[in-house]
């Protein structure tokens, strides 16, 4: 798995990966879908990526920088 690089804003190495379950229900409260999403964020300054469908994609988004696209 990709090692997470320090925060681009504050330099912290306290980077977390958050896993979130998204549940969609109909107006009648019937289950329509459940999806798992991931995002990376800095525990110090709260900078983060948007949600991604795969943990690897969230890690890649966090590690992406203008000089290494």
**Is-above-0.85 flag for pTM?**
no
Contact 17, 42 (CB under 8 A): no
| CA 48 to mean position of chain CA atoms | 7
The mean pLDDT value of the chain amounts to 91
**Residue 52 exposed, middle or buried by CB count within 10 Å (0-12, 13-18, 19+):** middle
- Give the tens place of pLDDT for each residue, 37-58: 999 999 999 999 999 999 999 9
């Amino acid at each position: 798995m990709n090692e997470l690089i320090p925060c681009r804003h504050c330099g912290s190495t306290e980077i977390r990966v958050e896993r979130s379950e998204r549940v969609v229900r109909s107006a009648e409260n019937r289950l329509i879908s459940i999806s798992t999403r991931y995002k990376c964020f800095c525990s110090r300054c709260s900078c983060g990526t948007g949600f991604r469908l795969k943990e690897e994609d969230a890690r890649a988004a966090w590690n992406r920088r203008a000089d290494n696209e």
